[in-house]
Amino acid sequence: MDIVSQNKSFAGSQGVYTHASKVCAGDMTFGLFLPEEANEGPVPLLWYLSGLTCTHANAMEKAGAQAWCAEHGIALVLPDTSPRGDNVANDEAYDLGQGAGFYVNATQDPWKPHFQMWDYVAHELPDLLANEFALEMDRQAITGHSMGGHGALTLAMGLPGRFRSVSAFAPIANPTASDWGRKQLSAYLGDDESLWAAHDATLMMREKGFDGPVLIDQGADDNFWDLLRPETLAEAMVARKQDGLHRVQKGYDHSYYFISSLMEDHVAFHADALYA
């Protein structure tokens, strides 16, 4: 692992690191904020998964999460959204290929050699974090935005017992029934739609739900509403009697202005679960 940068932030440290990833067959980059308490011993960990076109840097620089994580003594990890590099497959469209890994393990060429983002976020990066930093890996929570909200929800429900809480900002809630999902899932996983269900938060909520609290925030003025399909997840949560809140926020769109406005709520929500 190599240190790209480390900066003091809210009495803690905001770092950026690169490492050789076996599962993604290339170098990967992630951001990690460590609160001041990490100097004394392990601290809980909150994951933030970013959306289409983003890198680790977007939320690190725009979401304003470090201040609230510092207040609660929580570390924040910000993985990249896909493998990258000249030898990594890509597509001219912004919503497929580099920057658009969708947090799945690709089984189809040309994506299969590098696009193993489920294994990267679920296994490889957690193992590295546990070995290199002062983190309480038995106290983890997860959040994300858009494609990252999809990833946060599917990972939380797909890894029972891993995360104490899950939240999402404007998640792609029903990708098997949306152009933001059908295109990517067919490209990465093939045409057998039965394999897609494990990566659809609405279908997973209907089938199994989450063994902890859930918080979803959706902007009422989000211009991607029809692609996100938030109503399907809300209906599934009610049908499941899921412990959680699904809120529609008047006047907010899909941007980081929306995320930063509500980040304090989300970090406090996760802190309640992490310290329960």
Measure the CA–CA gap between 179 and 177, rounded to whole angstroms.
7
CA end-to-end span of the chain, whole Å? 33
Q: Read off the DSSP letter of residue 97.
A: B
Bridge-based pairing of strands 43-49 and 26-34 is unpaired
Bridge partners of 13? 8, 34
Give the helix/strand (H/E) hosting 152.
Answer: helix 147-158
Residues marked as catalytic: 146, 222, 254
Bridge partners of 16? 5, 31
Prior bond to 213 cis, omega within 30? no
In this structure, the dihedral spanned by the alpha carbons of residues 51, 55, 61 and 62, taken in order and rounded to 10 degrees, is -20
3-class SS letters over 210-240: CCCCEEEEEECCCCCHHHHCHHHHHHHHHHH
